[in-house]
């Protein structure tokens, strides 16, 4: 018994030693920058005066809570998340059964779905900026035939929706491919049993397919929400946060504070807020996923 325990302890030490390089890399690349970010958030530090750093404690956090521009950016971010992720999940669910039933051309369609995802976000933003152009854009050219041409990115009523559509175009294929993989894991006998019981297509989807792909649905929602919160490039290229601050998310607001106004202390505070928001959201959704998996 003691020999087995000694062997297990030796194996444990060997595993720990093998993990040390990976842990060291994680500490250097993640923990150190996070600690420096948290430290910077406690300073009053202007980019124009790198040497003039003053410790102000939690003053930047109080400023953030009182800043109406920050709360506006937070609302824009929430709308962006709900609109983008909601449409991606909705379109993925609508298309998953249709594509899963395809017999001809399925491989070609699934391969083509990868194309939007491999295009860099900056290029995606440029493509859609050209498409939305009020004078030379393809979107307005086609809509002009029915009298619906419009300056989509310049109008505060449509700018955020137009930016959301760029993200939906880029990432709906990702959601769809994940759901297709989950759908393929459902035994055919389950669908056949539902058909024998006289279930309609909607009932089969609602009571059979959806519960079985729900854990993967929550997972892909977590991934997309985190990614949308971090979105910067497409917004920067298409609208720059405008018109006014209509499309200014917290990421865009942080960029403006840090690199336009040079207020690095306040920008770091916003960065800490974003990190804690993503961490809290991830933990909450992972727990929800576990509960749903246990319930299933």
Rg (CA), the chain: 24
Q: What is the pLDDT of residue 4?
A: 53
Do 81 and 228 form a contact (C-beta atoms < 8 A)? yes
Which pTM was predicted? Answer: 0.86
Q: What is the pLDDT of residue 12?
A: 62
Tens digit of each residue's pLDDT (9 = 90 or more) over 162-175: 999 999 999 999 99
Residue 149 to residue 141: CA distance in whole angstroms: 7
Name the one residue in this structure whose structure tokens are 């306040």: 266
Q: For the chain, how are helix, strand and coil distributed in percent, rounded to 5?
A: 75, 0, 20
- Token pair for residue 68? 């109406």
Q: What is the pLDDT of residue 3?
A: 52
**In a 10 Å sphere around its CB, with 0-12 CB exposed, 13-18 middle and 19+ buried, how is residue 235 labelled?**
buried
- Token pair for residue 3? 């020999």
Q: What is the pLDDT of residue 11?
A: 60
**Three-class secondary structure of residue 229 per DSSP:** helix
pLDDT at 42 over 60: yes
Enclosing H/E stretch for 142 = helix 138-143
Do 41 and 57 form a contact (C-beta atoms < 8 A)? no
Outline where 133-247 has alpha helix (H). Answer: 138-143, 159-184, 188-196, 201-204, 210-229, 233-238
Residue 114 to residue 112: CA distance in whole angstroms: 5
Do 175 and 220 form a contact (C-beta atoms < 8 A)? yes
Q: What is the pLDDT of residue 268?
A: 96
Domain boundaries, the chain: 64-295
- Establish how many alpha carbons lie within 13 A of residue 97's alpha carbon, considering only the half-sphere containing its beta carbon: 14
Which own/partner contact pairs does 186-192 have at CB distance under 8 Å and 24+ positions apart?
Answer: 186/212, 186/213
Longest dimension (CA), the chain: 84
Do 273 and 280 form a contact (C-beta atoms < 8 A)? no
Do 201 and 224 form a contact (C-beta atoms < 8 A)? no
Measure CA 206 to chain center: 26
Q: How confident is the model at residue 75 (pLDDT cuts 50, 70, 90)?
A: very high
Residues in the chain: 296
DSSP state of 261: S
Considering 155-159, 205-209, 287-291, the range whose residues carry the highest mean pLDDT is: 155-159
Name the one residue in this structure whose structure tokens are 């991830």: 282
Residue 124 to residue 158: CA distance in whole angstroms: 19
User: What residues contact residue 74 under an 8 Å CB cut-off, 6+ apart?
Assistant: 250
CATH of the domain spanning 64-295, picked from 2.160.10.10, 1.10.3720.10, 3.40.50.300, 3.30.465.10: 1.10.3720.10
Q: What is the pLDDT of residue 188?
A: 81
Q: What is the pLDDT of residue 153?
A: 92
Tens digit of each residue's pLDDT (9 = 90 or more) over 142-198: 888 887 788 899 999 999 999 999 999 999 999 998 998 888 888 888 877 887 888
pLDDT at 262 over 70: yes
């Amino acid at each position: 018994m003691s020999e087995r325990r000694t062997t297990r302890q030796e194996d444990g030490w060997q595993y720990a030693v093998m993990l040390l390089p990976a842990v060291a890399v994680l500490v250097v690349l993640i923990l150190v920058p996070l600690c420096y970010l948290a430290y910077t958030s406690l300073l009053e530090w202007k980019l124009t005066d790198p040497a003039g750093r003053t410790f102000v404690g939690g003053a930047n956090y109080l400023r953030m809570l009182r800043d109406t521009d920050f709360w506006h950016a937070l609302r824009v971010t929430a709308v962006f998340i709900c609109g983008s992720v909601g449409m991606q999940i909705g379109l993925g669910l609508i298309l998953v059964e249709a594509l899963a039933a395809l017999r001809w051309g399925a491989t070609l369609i699934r391969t083509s779905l990868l194309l939007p995802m491999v295009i860099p976000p900056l290029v995606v933003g440029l493509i859609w900026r050209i498409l939305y152009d009020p004078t030379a854009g393809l979107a307005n050219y086609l809509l002009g035939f029915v009298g619906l041409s419009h300056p989509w990115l310049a109008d505060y009523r449509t700018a955020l929706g137009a930016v959301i559509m760029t993200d939906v175009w880029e990432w709906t294929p990702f959601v769809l491919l994940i759901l297709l993989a989950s759908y393929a894991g459902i035994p055919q006998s389950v669908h056949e049993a539902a058909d024998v019981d006289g279930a309609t297509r909607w009932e089969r989807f609602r009571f059979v397919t959806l519960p079985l792909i729900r854990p993967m649905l929550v997972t892909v929602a977590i991934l997309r929400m985190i990614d949308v919160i971090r979105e910067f490039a497409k917004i920067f290229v298409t609208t720059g946060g405008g018109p006014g601050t209509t499309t200014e998310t917290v990421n865009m607001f942080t960029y403006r504070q840090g690199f336009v106004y040079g207020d690095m202390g306040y920008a770091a505070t916003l960065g800490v807020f974003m990190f804690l928001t993503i961490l809290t959201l991830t933990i909450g959704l992972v727990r929800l996923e576990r509960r749903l998996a246990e319930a299933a």
